[in-house]
């Protein structure tokens, strides 16, 4: 394969006329559909350029692989976006579904895919792999296109002009269309996605719109439509009263980087931004779509981190959406290099999640437990309850006093103290903890993690699920 041919195939193509893959070009409409799904699924517009035809790749588990570039669609009139797609299937027979990822880069995708241990198990079970690229456009050699798209969005507030609202999710959707077009190698089946940061946020958005997608395992990425993400005036004012104007660039940024600060080039008022956030909340937040996703039997699991500048609204999410499954590794998030000393070191959630999603013989993972708490003198009594025979085998709890509000500098920087953890006691199927309260504390935040082993063939995978993150206001003792 010639490098020049590969790079040329990835360059944006300028053209005069092509149907859009979103609802319109122009003023956004809250009533319009976010994506034109029939157009997304139209294989005749993929304009496939084959870089490597199907070929056998040897290894511990042999595969067949193909590398192409495809037309994702129009960014704006006259500007196409092309992205690469690598497809991996068993050496014999068809893939009966696949694991889709965007956390890849161009240079690695030029080489045949080497399988990780979990990918070997998927291929052996007739589950394929599909890789594409969900990265900032500069990393894809399309820096100028990325710069222009951001300028257009700051003038239009049209989500089609911004990569995280349109280009990234459309890339994942079109990769599915590409795989399904290879009818001799893929049959229509489950499509599970996984990734962190932008590669957690993108499938979380896309799965709302594309019912070909059946599972998301996402870390350090948005989940909830909290007031900060909606540019709520009271929440914004409270944050500014604590942190002033010095907020992290992502905070208050709806589904991505903040574009609501005075230093931004955006030409819209706070009322305009609030209207924008409200108009598209249903289109981007998992929390707004739980009933329809459950009706579709979608599998979800989130690893938001406890101190992350993207998933910065744990307190609000735990209170309003306690049934969304999360795993909280203490003192983690973007850039956190040293988790709490008592945090789990052996967690294998993603591998177990994928195995369970694709294979019927795997036991189910834990589902979100209930939380009860009661103050008794100078103690807080906590009860965590799972469904009967859920299979959890341990419980460990963490807590922090007077943690600053969601999104604040203190929220991100003040870690859970080394001593603030304890193993829990199981009594009659309920996990119990008693925390001795600090006399001067005004509130306490806590969560617990629970282990369940998941077995597949001869391997055991260690999984963990958290109780909903809980904040308790402590009344002054009389």
Structural domain includes residue 428: yes
CATH number of the CATH domain containing 435: 2.60.40.10
Structural domain includes residue 315: no
Per the structure, how many domains does the chain have? 1
Structural domain includes residue 295: no
Q: Model confidence over 180-238: pLDDT tens digits?
A: 999 999 999 999 999 999 999 999 999 999 999 999 999 999 999 999 999 898 998 89
Token digits for 151? 């300028």
What is the extent of the structural domain holding 463? 367-473
Structural domain includes residue 469: yes
Structural domain includes residue 303: no
Dihedral, 464, 468, 471, 475 alpha carbons, nearest 10: -110
Structural domain includes residue 334: no
Cβ burial, residue 214 (10 Å; 0-12/13-18/19+): buried
User: What string of pLDDT tens digits covers the 478 residues of the chain?
Assistant: 443 444 444 443 322 223 334 333 333 443 345 798 999 999 999 999 999 999 999 999 999 999 999 999 998 888 999 999 999 999 999 999 999 999 998 889 999 999 999 999 999 999 999 999 999 887 778 889 989 998 898 888 899 999 999 999 999 999 999 999 999 999 999 999 999 999 999 999 999 999 999 999 999 999 999 999 998 989 988 998 888 766 777 887 899 877 766 556 677 888 888 999 999 999 999 999 999 999 999 999 999 999 999 999 999 999 999 999 999 999 999 987 799 999 999 999 999 999 999 999 999 999 999 999 999 999 999 999 999 999 999 999 999 999 999 999 999 999 999 999 999 999 999 999 999 999 999 999 999 999 999 999 999 999 999 999 999 999 754 3
Structural domain includes residue 446: yes
CB count, 10 Å around CB of 352? 27
Structural domain includes residue 164: no
Cα separation, 463 vs 452, in Å, equals: 5
Q: What is the pTM of this model?
A: 0.92
């Amino acid at each position: 394969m010639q490098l020049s041919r590969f790079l040329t195939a990835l360059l944006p193509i300028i053209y005069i006329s092509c149907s859009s893959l979103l609802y319109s070009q122009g003023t956004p409409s809250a009533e319009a559909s976010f994506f034109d799904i029939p157009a997304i699924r139209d294989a005749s517009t993929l304009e496939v350029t084959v870089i490597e035809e199907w070929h056998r790749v040897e290894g511990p588990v042999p595969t067949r692989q193909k590398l192409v570039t495809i037309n994702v669609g129009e960014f704006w009139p006259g500007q196409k976006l092309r992205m690469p797609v690598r497809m991996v299937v068993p050496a014999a027979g068809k893939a009966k579904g696949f694991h889709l990822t965007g956390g890849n880069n161009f240079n690695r995708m030029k080489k045949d895919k080497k399988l990780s241990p979990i990918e070997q198990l998927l291929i052996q079970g007739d589950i394929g792999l599909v890789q594409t690229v969900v990265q900032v456009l500069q990393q894809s050699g399309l820096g100028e296109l990325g710069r222009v798209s951001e300028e257009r969005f700051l003038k239009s507030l049209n989500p089609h002009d911004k990569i995280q609202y349109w280009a990234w999710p459309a890339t994942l959707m079109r990769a599915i269309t590409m795989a399904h077009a290879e009818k001799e190698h893929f049959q229509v089946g489950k499509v599970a996605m996984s990734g962190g940061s932008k590669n957690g946020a993108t499938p979380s958005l896309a799965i709302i719109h594309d019912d070909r997608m059946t599972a998301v395992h996402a870390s350090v990425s948005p989940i909830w439509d909290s007031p900060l993400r909606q540019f709520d005036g009271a929440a914004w004012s409270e944050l500014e009263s604590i942190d002033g104007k010095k907020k992290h660039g992502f905070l208050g940024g709806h589904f991505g980087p903040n574009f609501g600060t005075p230093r931004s080039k955006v030409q819209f008022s706070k009322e305009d931004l609030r209207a924008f956030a409200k108009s598209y909340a249903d289109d981007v937040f998992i929390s707004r779509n739980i009933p329809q996703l459950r009706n579709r039997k979608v599998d979800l699991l989130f690893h938001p981190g406890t101190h992350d500048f993207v998933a910065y609204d744990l307190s609000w999410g735990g209170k309003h959406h306690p049934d969304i499954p999360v795993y909280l590794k203490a003192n983690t998030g973007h850039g956190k290099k040293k988790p709490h000393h008592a945090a789990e070191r052996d967690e294998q959630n993603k591998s177990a999640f994928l195995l369970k999603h694709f294979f019927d013989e795997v036991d189910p993972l834990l589902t979100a437990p209930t939380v009860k708490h009661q103050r008794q003198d100078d103690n807080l009594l906590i009860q965590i309850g799972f469904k009967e025979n859920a299979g959890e085998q341990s419980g460990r709890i963490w807590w922090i006093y007077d943690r600053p509000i969601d999104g604040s500098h203190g929220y991100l920087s003040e870690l859970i103290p080394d001593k603030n953890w304890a193993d829990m006691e199981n009594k009659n199927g309920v996990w119990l903890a008693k925390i001795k309260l600090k006399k001067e504390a005004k509130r306490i935040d806590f969560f617990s993690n629970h282990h369940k082993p998941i077995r597949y063939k001869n391997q055991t995978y260690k999984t963990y699920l958290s109780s909903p993150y809980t904040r308790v206001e402590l009344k002054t003792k009389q």
